[in-house]
Structure 1
Amino acid sequence: MAAASALLLGASASAGEAPAPSAPAISASIDLAITGLRSDKGNVLVCLSANPKFFPDCSKDKQARKLKISAVKAGTVQIADVKPGTYAVALVHDENANGKMDLRLFLPREGFGFSRNPKIGMGPPKFKSAQFTIGSDDAHYAVRMKYIL
């Protein structure tokens, strides 16, 4: 039966008819409203990851979406063309623009934030506390930056 279908499809295409168009790829956009930046210095580093193993430091996650936005323009950040799935977002206010989170005595010297604004205890939150699910509809999340030092 499959061979007959393939023959019919081939016959239609060769007779000058175009094959049926394929369905468009499903994706959505994530809009992040970022509040609580203590200054407009440096950049905001944004990481969208689907892999709990690489959260919140996604520097080794080859599949993660990473953005660098000037802190001056970081009030709203859009991550476009996100495929359906479960994700978490981590942000760093890289005030000195050196491309990383600076620490002092193992504590962050720069601001940070996470999707769903989980409570921060000893160490960063787990993926599960920051995760959200994306389907075909655009999503909007507010992220409040936090500073320890």
Structure 2
Amino acid sequence: MKRVVFLRAGAAALLATLPAYAAEKCEGAPGNGNAKLIVEATALRNAVGEVAFTVYPDDKRRFLAKGGKLARARVSSASPRACFWLKPGHYGIAQYHDENGDHDFNRTLFAPKEGFGFSNDAPTSIGLPAFEAVRTVLPPSGTVIRMRMRYRR
């Protein structure tokens, strides 16, 4: 009898924690007309380190500029997905695979050493994409944006 009570209490305690794990931690806050933006990185070459997602406002002068970001989330490369509560509108999104976890986008003299990508999977054959190529819409209903990680080496 004591064993059954103990098992039921343990099961109840475990079930009580499930909503905390199931709830997605988002940057920002819901309400006030905010919409949920979910970003996912695809085609990672490994699950080492973390992925940094950076959201830029609808202003090409701030895109990839120092201090220009609106929000950033760093997540494990094993589960490369993050979410943000933002006002509906247009944004630019960049991502990079911080394999060594130093919170810096590492480069060689001529090319990135770590994976990177942009909203709309904007092409980057030579140099960085223009803001117009990465500009994407966040509707009032929210959206999910998947971005392919690219590697130069």
The answer, yes or no, to whether TM exceeds 0.5 is: yes
The aligned residue for residue 113 of structure 1 is 117
Q: Kindly indicate whether residue 134 of structure 2 is the aligned counterpart of residue 130 of structure 1.
A: yes
Superposed displacement of residue 33, structure 1? 2.7
Separation in 1 of the partners of 2:35 and 2:70?
16
Decide whether the 8 Å contact of 1:90 with 1:113 is kept in 2.
yes
1:64-75 matched pairs, under 5 angstroms: 64-74=70-80
Correspondence 1:78 to 2:86: no
Gaps of 5+ in 1: 1-23
Matched letter for residue 83 of structure 2 = Q
Number of aligned pairs?
A: 122
Where 1:104 maps in the other structure, the secondary structure is: coil
Match of 2:91 in 1: 87
TM-score w.r.t. length of structure 1? 0.76
* Structure 1 residue ranges, 4+ long, deviating more than 2 angstroms after superposition: none
Change (3 A) 1:94 1:58: farther
Kindly indicate whether residue 52 of structure 2 is the aligned counterpart of residue 52 of structure 1: no
Native 8 Å contact 2:50 2:75 kept in 1: yes
Residue identity (%) = 26
Q: Which runs of 5+ in 2 are unaligned?
A: 1-30
CA distance in 2, matches of 1:139, 1:27: 12
Please say which structure displays the higher CA radius of gyration.
1
Aligned position for 1:6: none
